[in-house]
Amino acid sequence: MWVDSHCHLAAAEFDGDRTEVLERASADGVDTFIAIGSGYGIRSNNRAVELAASDPRVFATVGVHPHEAGELNDELRGWLNPLLDHPRVVAVGECGLDYHYMKSDRAVQRSVFAEQVATARERSLPVTIHVRGDEPNAYEELLDIWRSEGGGDLAGVLHCYTGTLEFAKRAMDSGFFVSFSGILTFKNDRGLRDVAKEIPLDRLMVETDAPLLAPEGFRGKRNEPSRVSVVGRVLADVLDEPIAEVARITSANARALFRLDEAAPVE
């Protein structure tokens, strides 16, 4: 069975057929979903939490996406904090730095990311991280903030990894897992499969980032969590490992990072 370690299951794109989407995932061996609260407007974080509160297969994260960093204010902070207390919330995020789209000012992105790393440390929660663009600056600044605000004992995952092997190694030394999305399956993967090949099994995860990033064969369509199995098959091929083993290990890694076995059951 697979864990989709990063999907936007609460996004409006799934409002019409979420039940069927989850059934298709289950038919493809995907039984656990990390529903990311951020990325579709700060005010929609509660949707992921509500989903997790009502479905035992779903766990939620709460955070502020770098695209939305410029919108954060004290009123929203006051609204987000109680959500982080919810017993089905297993991580802070997705948060980080995005200097590719640059939808928020760099300095604001840095301070909002630092604030969330500090929140994760205070609450002993792991962090799901988005980093993109302007290599090496976004990546180096991200790691600097992680080290200064995280205090050395935080764990996290670099979601939808597209960076270099050299950076991945340093990030793993700082407590990160590395998660691959449908980009790994693209015909033009820009060398990503060569990076994935070198990541130790005990640091790997798979994800869809649905509804975005549909894998090869489905590009241009709405992505959905069932297709984490497509990413997993390609990863197994790259690693030259049996699919069942890659499913087992990536799922165990997600369960360990997000401490799913300790999360409160659905009431």
Contact positions toward Zn ion, by CB under 5 A? 39, 94, 130, 209
Buried b (16+ CB within 10 A) or exposed e, 118-127: bbbbeeebbb
Specify the 3-state DSSP secondary structure of 207: coil
To Zn ion, the closest distance from the beta carbon of 74 in angstroms equals 25
To Zn ion, the closest distance from the beta carbon of 265 in angstroms equals 26
To Zn ion, the closest distance from the beta carbon of 4 in angstroms equals 11
Of 235, 213, 232, the C-alpha closest to 223 is: 213
Calpha distance 224→111 (Å, rounded): 32
Residue placing its CB nearer to Zn ion in the complex, 22 or 95: 95
Calpha distance 86→19 (Å, rounded): 23
Task: Tell me how far CA of residue 146 lies from CA of 115, 117, 197, 199, in angstroms.
Answer: 10, 7, 25, 20
* DSSP 8-state assignment for residue 225: G
To Zn ion, the closest distance from the beta carbon of 153 in angstroms equals 24
To Zn ion, the closest distance from the beta carbon of 255 in angstroms equals 20
Q: Report yes or no: 36 and 236 within 8 Å, Cβ to Cβ.
A: no
Q: Which residue is nearest to Zn ion (CB)?
A: 130
Calpha distance 95→219 (Å, rounded): 25
Residue placing its CB nearer to Zn ion in the complex, 37 or 39: 39
Residue 157 CB burial class (10 angstroms; 0-12, 13-18, ≥19): buried
Residue placing its CB nearer to Zn ion in the complex, 113 or 236: 113
To Zn ion, the closest distance from the beta carbon of 209 in angstroms equals 5
Encoded amino acid at 18, one letter = R
Residue placing its CB nearer to Zn ion in the complex, 11 or 155: 11
To Zn ion, the closest distance from the beta carbon of 257 in angstroms equals 16
Residue placing its CB nearer to Zn ion in the complex, 196 or 213: 213
Residue placing its CB nearer to Zn ion in the complex, 175 or 182: 182
Residue placing its CB nearer to Zn ion in the complex, 13 or 209: 209
Calpha distance 257→90 (Å, rounded): 9
